[in-house]
Amino acid sequence: MLFRVDPTSDEPLYVQLASQVRTAVARGEVRTGERLPSARDLATSLEMNLHTVLHAYQELRDEGIVELRRGRGAVVTADAPPDLAELHTAVDALVATARRLHVAPETVTALVKEALR
């Protein structure tokens, strides 16, 4: 799994990391039992603080997505939902509409988060 972060984003780095893992699980790109990179290795490769990566991993642990094992690191415990095809179609339509209307990604994200509350 390839991680990317945007240090200029308003979204905290640990949130960006956790979101990438959630997305990879939802898409079936990572499966139950797969190990994520060690926090130390990931922090080094992304040139960020170790505690930032640990914060992301702890958030994922609290959500039941990963299990943190001493000496083994973070292991994925959650499977992808059975079928997200309908949701992917709806997201694609939302993105197309947002682009057509020239709505900023941050605004779209805020609208979706508000609708999910």
Task: Please list the pLDDT of the chain residue by residue as tens digits (117 residues).
Answer: 789 999 999 999 999 999 999 988 888 888 889 999 999 999 999 999 999 999 999 999 998 899 998 777 899 997 655 667 788 889 999 999 999 999 999 999 999 999 998
What are the structural domain ranges in the chain?
Answer: 13-76, 85-116
Q: Does domain 13-76 have CATH number 1.10.10.10?
A: yes
pLDDT for the residue numbered 35: 92
Could you give the angle at the alpha carbon of 19 between the alpha carbons of 70 and 45, nearest 5°? Answer: 60
Query: Which one, of 47, 37, 41, lies nearest residue 13 by Cα?
Result: 47
pLDDT for the residue numbered 79: 66
76 φ, ψ (degrees, to nearest 5): -70, 130
Which contacts qualify for 112-115: CB closer than 8 Å, 24 or more apart?
none
